[in-house]
């Protein structure tokens, strides 16, 4: 935990949360959803000449004061600090993300949080992007947990836990489950993730090095910037299915799009990037 005190009120104002500041499940659910609705998931620091910094005070300066976003270690690292300051019991966990190839990435590929509250355990994650959870998930059940148009479940196998997703297109008792990542309950520290942050900043095996991206939850669904594209995803309703539209961007449009749609103003010029990711063919 950071040795300096956080300005909790300023953080809560940044995410638009108004309500009690106490360690209850209702508060946890609310601040989790508000962070996701207010703070982008983005890697633009990497593509504008900067370096990712995980010190809590620097994360606060970036995400709260400068109204930026970040990737998993940044968003979840700062969110953990908030929760601790509010009185929650929080444990950092390490995840291995499942790649499109079906293989899993290395340890410390992704950070999540486990909150223990009134004898129950909750998975919190405000840093996984487009397919991430909206609200904390119970870690004490393997039953499906529905969140909007998606259903998640947690499956355990020999001490390893798997977060799996069932999308709108196959949401049923017999529908297929897609693994998102796997993890154990071994406690970790923020410093444990620093080496992987360097990897994500510099390796063509990393999504974050290969693509300049920014994505954010919206009332209608999700808005995503990648390279020279702006993708609008509208989530399904009772009468209409999911829709996705892509707009090609010119280089001189990107700065205004980031400011107007995501509230992001960069300190240095962005170098847009959208190259193929080449994950290492290693089974972890």
Catalytic residue list: 72, 110, 125
Q: Pick the closest to residue 223 from 37, 81, 51 (CA basis).
A: 37
**DSSP per residue, the chain:** --SSPP-HHHHHHHTT--S--SS-HHHHHHHHHHHHHHS-EE-TTTTTT------HHHHHIIIIIS---B-HHHHHHHHHHHHHHTT-EEEEEEEEEBPTTS-B--TTSEEEEEEEETTEEEEE-S-SGGG--SS-EESS--S-EEETTEEEEEEEETTEEEEEEE-GGG-STT---EEEEEE----B-GGGGHHHHHHHHH-TTSHHHHB-EEEEEETTEEEEEETTEEEEEE---SS---EEEEEE--GGGHHHHHHHHH----SS-----B----------
Q: Pick the closest to residue 265 from 90, 65, 16 (CA basis).
A: 65
């Amino acid at each position: 935990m950071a040795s300096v005190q956080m300005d909790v009120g300023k953080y809560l104002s940044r995410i638009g949360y108004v309500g009690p500041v106490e360690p209850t499940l209702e508060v946890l659910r609310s601040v989790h959803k508000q962070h996701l609705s207010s703070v982008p998931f983005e890697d633009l620091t990497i593509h504008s000449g900067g370096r990712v910094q995980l010190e809590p005070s620097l994360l606060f300066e970036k995400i709260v004061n400068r109204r930026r976003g970040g990737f998993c270690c940044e968003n979840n690292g700062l969110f953990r600090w908030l929760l601790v300051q509010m009185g929650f019991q929080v444990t950092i966990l390490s995840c291995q993300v499942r790649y499109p190839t079906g293989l899993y990435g290395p340890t410390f590929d992704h950070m999540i949080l486990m909150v223990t509250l009134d004898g129950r355990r909750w998975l919190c994650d405000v840093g996984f992007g487009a397919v991430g959870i909206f609200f904390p998930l119970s870690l004490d059940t393997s039953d499906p947990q529905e969140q909007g148009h998606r259903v998640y479940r947690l499956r355990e196998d020999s001490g390893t836990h798997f977060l799996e997703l069932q999308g709108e297109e196959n949401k049923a008792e017999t529908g297929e489950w897609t693994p998102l990542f796997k993890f154990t309950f071994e406690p970790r520290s923020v410093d444990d993730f620093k080496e992987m942050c360097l990897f994500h900043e510099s390796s063509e095996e990393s999504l974050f090095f290969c693509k300049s991206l920014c994505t954010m939850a919206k009332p209608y669904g999700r808005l995503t910037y990648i390279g020279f594209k702006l993708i609008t995803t509208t989530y399904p309703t009772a009468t209409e299915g999911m829709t996705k539209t892509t707009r090609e961007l010119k280089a001189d449009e990107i700065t205004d799009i980031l400011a107007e749609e995501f509230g992001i103003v960069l300190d240095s010029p962005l170098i847009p990037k959208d190259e193929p990711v080449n994950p290492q063919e290693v089974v972890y």
